[in-house]
A and B are shown apart, each in its own frame.
Chain A
């Protein structure tokens, strides 16, 4: 798990509260991945446009920036300048002209729409809090390790998204009978001449569910360019691969989308928790879709030193995946026994929820802290980690080893 590079801290109830701020002064971070090689430099202010200093630099081009766990300790809404960044292709426009930009809605529709930002912003407004999580968040913790973006746990963030319902746009364009899917494309382009343009699709029913939306603001401000300015699709409860950035084209299809990013990429084993054995062959696969419950301790990094027999407060975040958080449990004995954590304010079904638990470690030595989320569907995080060759959908109960002194 997440640990601060070459530092160990003695945690007391008061020290725990101030700990995360120390991370910012550092120039690198060790994600503590199994097998190592998890040290990354941190971004400098201004290095990536509107993004702040202190993000975990996974790749400069095409940008991959990870949010440090300490940021999630500061509140349930992830600040725009610290929100993680993930692009497939490096051909990303470095500017967008807000007056000239148009969003097209076309295809198997009665008419074609070409909407300016002003027109879009004048439509009925919809707002929702929702977690945006990369399919491969936490890939670096897979064992055995798999190739890909070697993320720690910070390829996720929660924001309050403001925009318009996709349903309203589709109704306005007039979806024709026989529509099957809706495909979304953004302004980014492949950097190789025949490379597959990044596009994703949803079924027509999902697209019209009244929650899928086109967002022009996150946390009350325009999207940072690297998070998809001026528009991005928001698919509450589903992995971020569907949340197409710099969205400028919506196409209603009368057949199944066969583009590479739907037909071939982002496939998971068709099993609960998307798991398989590394030696298995020919496992049936399906497109990745809804998220699962997860939870994290945000104020106690792994390998922290904690005062034994003194009261300490653990806190963190949880989310239910594609449903709300029902319960969060906390353990100080590696999951042998659990106490129910106190939940913070409910800011929306699909968002982060704060949790808190008071504990006292019985005596000196090694201890393992764990946190577990159960969602309102009744799904609970599993004890055992999942595995698949793409490193998708990690949702295991995370363990935080600490030392009581």
Chain B
């Protein structure tokens, strides 16, 4: 730490009269406790149980109409890439729900 302190002094000197008018930093706290909306309607239990630990529902429901295969791939991506702890047994119900509310019929 002694070395660090010395170096900082050196850096400050190098910065010379560097605008020291900087206002003292103030701590910040905001409320991020709103979980946002969940999925609603028939068949939403599985998707709520497995998916909403990480995100609220809006962005999913704002997706373009996707095929069942595309929804299957999205669920797979959440599991493989983002390591979402989705219960394997719930996958069909999740894909079914997504295909119902944001499916394109294929």
A-to-B contact residues, CB < 8 Å: 33, 35, 37-38, 40, 47-50, 57-64, 89-90, 92, 94-99, 101, 111-115, 117-119, 121-125, 145-147, 149-150, 168, 172, 190-196, 216, 222, 225-226, 229-230, 260, 264-265
Cβ of A222 and Cβ of B34 under 8 Å apart?
no
Instruction: Name 11 interchain pairs, CB-CB below 8 A, sorted by A.
Output: A35-B64, A37-B62, A37-B65, A60-B37, A90-B54, A94-B33, A121-B25, A150-B64, A196-B83, A225-B30, A264-B81
Q: Which of the four size classes fits the interface of chain B?
A: 35 or more
Judge whether B82 and A48 touch: CB under 8 Å: no
B22 surroundings in chain A (CB, below 8 A)? 121-122, 125, 216
Closest 3 CB pairs of A and B: A60-B36, A49-B30, A145-B64
Chain A residue contacts of B100, Cβ below 8 A = none
Interface SS of chain B: loop
**Residue of chain A at shortest CB distance from B19:** A125
Of A150, A193, A230, the contact of B83 (CB 8 Å cutoff): A193
- A59–B56 contact, CB under 8 A? yes
In the bound complex, CA of A89 to CA of B54 (Å) = 7
Q: Is the CB–CB distance between A96 and B28 below 8 Å?
A: yes
Q: B34 contacts A61, CB within 8 Å?
A: yes
Interface assignment of B89: CB less than 8 Å from any CB of chain A: no
A60 near B35 (CB under 8 angstroms)? yes
The answer, among B3, B12, B35, B83, for a CB contact under 8 Å with A122, is: B12
Chain A contacts of B59 at CB under 8 A? 58-59, 64, 149-150
Chain B nearest Cβ from A359, distance in angstroms: 34
Task: Provide the bound-state CA to CA distance between A273 and B6, in Å.
Answer: 49
A124 and B28: CB pair below 8 A?
Answer: no
- In whole Å, how far is B74's beta carbon from the nearest beta carbon of chain A? 6
The residue that A150 contacts in the complex, of B7, B14, B63, B81, with Cβ under 8 A, is B63
* B91 on interface, CB distance cutoff 8 Å: no
Task: Pick the contact of A123: B18, B37, B53, B66 (CB < 8 A).
Answer: B18
Q: When the two chains form their complex, are residues B30 and A95 in contact, meaning their CB atoms are under 8 A apart?
A: yes
- Give which listed residue, B11, B28, B74, contacts A222 with CB less than 8 A: B28
Docked Cα-Cα span, A48 to B32, in Å, equals 7
Asked if B28 contacts A47 (CB within 8 A), the reply is no
